[in-house]
Amino acid sequence: CWFSAEHAAKDSGIAADVAKTVGLNLPLNDATKAQYEKMVTLGLGGLDKSGIAELTFKGRHG
């Protein structure tokens, strides 16, 4: 199943907003949201979740 980092960042943001309104703390969501947002900033938003490896292993995306 392919789901872009750009869409994941958007959905993680929605989850964070909803959690905040009901007083929930979602640290894993916050961490993944930050990674997806970083991917988008670096121009990797079109990659799926496996693209997170590009943040760790620079230059691996061909």
Pick left, alpha or beta for residue 58 (phi over 0 → left; psi -120 to 50 → alpha; otherwise beta).
beta
- Encode pLDDT of 17-57 as tens digits: 999 999 999 999 999 999 999 999 999 999 988 888 878 88
- Is 34 part of a structural domain of the chain? yes
Say what the pLDDT of residue 14 is.
98
Give how many domains the chain has, as a whole number.
1
Domain that residue 40 falls in: 5-56
| Residue entry with tokens 């969501």 | 29
How many residues does this entry show for the chain?
62
The whole-number pLDDT of residue 61 equals 58
Does residue 11 form part of some domain?
yes
Per-residue 3-state assignment (H helix, E strand, C coil) for 6-61:
HHHHHHHHHHHHHHHHCCCCCHHHHHHHHHHHHHHHCCCCCCCHHHHHHHHCCCCC
Q: State pLDDT tens for residues 4-26.
A: 999 999 999 999 999 999 999 99
Q: Assign 60 a pLDDT band (cuts: 50, 70, 90).
A: low
Q: What is the model's pLDDT at position 17?
A: 98
Instruction: Look at residue 62 and tell me if it is in a domain.
Output: no
